[in-house]
């Protein structure tokens, strides 16, 4: 070690030491931008009426606040009246179901923005072709179930079967807040309408 490096080491600040040991994500981790969190989410079916009302309010708010260049306000969604965690779905139960459905698990999950990345220790992500499902959990109970993005249209047949199975197995609906639409995924015709919603 040169004398100059030795002196720099002595006077290095604590923040500089922290920067040296900052989080380095696994290149195989599943990454999602923080703005995408729960934008396409599964909710207990009891939320259908209230979630549909919220979807309508989002559309109306968007129309009222758009000035031709951008939006002047932001609609903040309220929490679901019946949260997913209240259904006491065991993480192991959901993971076993996903594995049986042909999903494989990512080794880890990260989030962030721009070049800033953080680990997500309470989120697991699973993939089957272009379908990626994320699970938040508290202890051994599922807190949220969601997609970072919509699967590719080429996977619609597989996705449709998966949605029908999710509805049957866990009694859930799908709320796509990007499109401001709430889907009864127990109904094949409603899923088909959802798939062509913005084509």
| Domain definitions of the chain by residue range | 25-67+76-195
For the chain, what is the mean pLDDT? 87
Whether residue 24 has pLDDT greater than 80: no
Q: Please give the Cα distance from 152 to 109 (Å, whole number).
A: 21
Which DSSP string corresponds to 84-145? GGGG--BHHHHHHHHHHTT-EE-S-EEEEETTEEEE-TTEEEEEETTEEEEEEEETTEEEEE
Question: Which whole number is the average pLDDT over 140-158?
Answer: 95
Do 125 and 132 touch, CB atoms closer than 8 A?
Answer: yes
Which pLDDT belongs to residue 17? 44
Residue 98 scores a pLDDT above 50: yes
pLDDT digits (tens, 9 = 90+) for 119-141: 999 999 999 999 999 999 999 99
Does the reported pTM lie above 0.75?
yes
State pLDDT tens for residues 86-97: 999 999 999 999
Q: Is the pLDDT of residue 23 over 90?
A: no
Let me know: does 113 contact 33? Beta carbons within 8 Å: yes
């Amino acid at each position: 070690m040169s004398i100059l490096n030795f002196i720099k080491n002595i006077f290095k600040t604590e923040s500089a030491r922290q920067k040296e040991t900052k989080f380095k994500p696994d290149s195989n981790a599943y990454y999602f931008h923080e703005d995408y969190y729960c934008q396409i989410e599964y909710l207990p079916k009891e939320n259908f009426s209230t979630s549909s009302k919220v979807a309508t309010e989002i559309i109306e708010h968007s129309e009222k606040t758009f000035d031709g260049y951008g939006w002047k306000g932001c609609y903040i969604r309220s929490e679901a009246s019946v949260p997913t965690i209240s259904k006491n779905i065991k993480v192991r139960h959901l993971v076993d179901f996903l594995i049986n459905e042909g999903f494989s698990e990512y080794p880890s999950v990260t989030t962030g923005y721009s070049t800033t990345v953080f680990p997500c220790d309470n989120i697991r992500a699973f993939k089957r072709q272009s379908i990626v499902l994320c699970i938040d959990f508290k202890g051994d109970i599922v807190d949220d179930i969601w997609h970072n993005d919509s699967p590719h249209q080429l996977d619609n047949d597989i996705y449709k079967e998966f949605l029908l199975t999710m509805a049957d197995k866990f009694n859930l609906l799908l709320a796509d807040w990007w499109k401001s639409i709430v889907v009864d995924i127990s109904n094949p015709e409603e899923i088909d309408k959802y798939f062509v919603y913005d084509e």
